[in-house]
């Protein structure tokens, strides 16, 4: 089933839940709900981008808060039960990483959070733990303004990926 058909077939409550699993920013979700019915999958992605263009810093922070720290198994279990399968799949590159890489990734993730006030966001699909660590190292010294912009761009990639997965029913 196409993503557009799937989203159009849901009642408002179910559509809200599906969209929230794609992006936790409520302003984004409300925009997407208001854009239904979608004429095509391209229309879904256009509406997503239009919604992203309306988000404030607070909205982006709300979206970021919907993610666990990369590689943080405990936060996947406890805080993010609704999206743990999805986030685990996106972060599958962490599986099998050596202990030193995981230790440094965890430490830098916490340093990043303390420095910027939000978690490190990266489109992790297809990336190894070492690649994510290299990206984190390259971004840790950015200004907060630059990092917010980069994180927002990564959030958009994650959301578009999740929207595509709605069609295959791998998230709900």
Q: Which residues are catalytic?
A: 67
In 3D, which of 66, 67, 58, 6 has the Cα closest to residue 27? 58
Please, are residues 51 and 31 in contact by the beta-carbon 8 Å criterion?
yes
Yes or no: say if 18 and 171 are a contact pair by the CB < 8 Å rule: yes
**CA–CA dist 29, 1 (Å, integer):** 21
Residue 157, CA atoms < 13 Å, CB-side half-sphere: 13
Q: Rounded to whole angstroms, how far apart are CA atoms 131 and 145? A: 23
Measured CA to CA, the distance from residue 76 to residue 83 in angstroms comes to 8
Containing 83, the helix (H) or strand (E) segment is: none
Provide the token pair at 47: 């509406």
């Amino acid at each position: 089933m196409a993503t557009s058909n799937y989203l159009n077939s849901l009642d408002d409550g179910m559509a809200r839940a599906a969209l929230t699993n794609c992006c936790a920013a409520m302003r984004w979700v409300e925009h997407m709900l208001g854009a239904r019915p979608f004429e095509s999958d391209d229309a879904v992605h256009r509406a997503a981008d239009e919604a992203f263009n309306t988000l404030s810093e607070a909205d982006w922070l709300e979206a970021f808060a919907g993610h666990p720290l990369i590689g943080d198994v405990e936060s996947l279990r406890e805080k993010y039960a609704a999206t743990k399968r999805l986030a685990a799949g996106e972060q599958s590159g962490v599986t099998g990483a050596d202990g030193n890489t995981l230790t440094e990734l965890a430490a830098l993730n916490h340093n990043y959070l303390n420095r910027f006030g939000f978690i490190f966001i990266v489109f992790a699909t297809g990336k190894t733990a070492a690649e994510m660590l290299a990206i984190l190292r390259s971004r840790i010294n950015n200004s907060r303004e630059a990092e917010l912009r980069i994180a927002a761009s990564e959030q958009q990639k994650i959301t578009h990926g999740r929207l595509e997965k709605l069609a295959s029913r791998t998230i709900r």
